[in-house]
């Protein structure tokens, strides 16, 4: 599935017109109450609530994610390098509300060696993730191949290559069995480096399958 990631409130009308299967709400960037944001989205769209920890303190992150779950999101995204107690609290809260947990790990500088990637993938599951998400900056073909090879590992996952070299991983994820591939609503509204737009992924998919 293609998931549009949005980081500002004025994109919601555009998203409602596109009607993607999934939307990721970057609440740390949107900076509005989750109830208001969710009330503006078409109810047919599946929603991931995300609050990146580097953008606010942990108490604010916890509050916003709990509100997301109270107001009916289907997934939340938690970063695996948060404290154990924090993760246990939110995983329990999510599962008590039938919300699935995406446990994510990001490396904004490089793609490490395969043993480190395997370790982080396993940690995402062991910390309570129903889905593991690994996102790394990719600077060469070897790193790209190493990152994509994680699809060989059993389990539900999302593998994301960031940066220009990582763009191909965002399209190929559709065919490797990723739970989602993340896209932007437009080129001037990227929420991560190397993101393709929803339209670009659909166009590539049409070319590839024709």
- Check residue 159 and give its pLDDT: 96
- The 8-class DSSP code of residue 179 comes to S
Terminal alpha carbon distance of the chain: 19
Task: Give strand pairing partners of 106.
Answer: 135
Cα(16)–Cα(42) distance, integer angstroms: 6
pLDDT for res 194: 73
Check if the beta carbon of residue 74 is closer than 8 Å to that of residue 45: no
pLDDT tens digits, 70-121: 999 999 999 999 999 999 999 999 999 999 999 999 999 999 999 999 999 9
- The rounded distance, in Å, linking the Cα atoms of 68 and 99 is 10
CA quadruple 39, 41, 43, 47: dihedral sign: negative
Q: What residue ranges of the chain have pLDDT lower than 50? A: none
Domain locations along the chain: 2-209
Select the CATH number that applies to the domain covering 2-209 from these four: 3.10.450.50, 3.20.20.70, 3.40.50.150, 3.90.78.10.
3.20.20.70
| Predicted local confidence at residue 189, as pLDDT | 63
Q: What is the pLDDT of residue 56?
A: 56
Would you state the pLDDT for residue 136? 96
């Amino acid at each position: 599935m293609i998931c549009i990631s949005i980081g500002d409130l004025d994109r919601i009308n555009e998203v409602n017109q596109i009607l993607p299967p999934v939307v990721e709400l970057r609440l740390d960037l949107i900076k509005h109450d989750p109830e208001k944001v969710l009330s503006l989205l078409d109810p047919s769209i599946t929603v991931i609530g995300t609050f990146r920890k580097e953008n606010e303190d942990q108490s604010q992150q916890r509050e916003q994610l709990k509100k997301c779950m109270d107001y009916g999101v289907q997934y939340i995204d938690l970063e695996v390098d948060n404290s154990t107690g924090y993760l246990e609290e939110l995983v329990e809260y999510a599962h008590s509300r039938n919300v699935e947990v995406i446990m994510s790990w990001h490396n904004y500088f490089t793609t490490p060696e395969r043993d480190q990637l395997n370790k982080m993938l396993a940690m995402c599951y062991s910390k309570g993730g129903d889905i593991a998400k690994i996102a790394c900056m990719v600077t060469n073909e070897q790193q790209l191949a190493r990152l994509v090879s994680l699809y060989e590992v059993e389990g539900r996952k999302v593998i994301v290559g960031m940066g220009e070299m990582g763009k191909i991983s965002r399209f190929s994820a559709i065919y490797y069995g990723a739970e989602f591939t993340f896209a932007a609503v437009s080129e001037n509204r990227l929420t991560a480096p190397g993101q393709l737009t929803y339209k670009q992924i659909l166009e590539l998919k049409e070319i590839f399958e024709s």
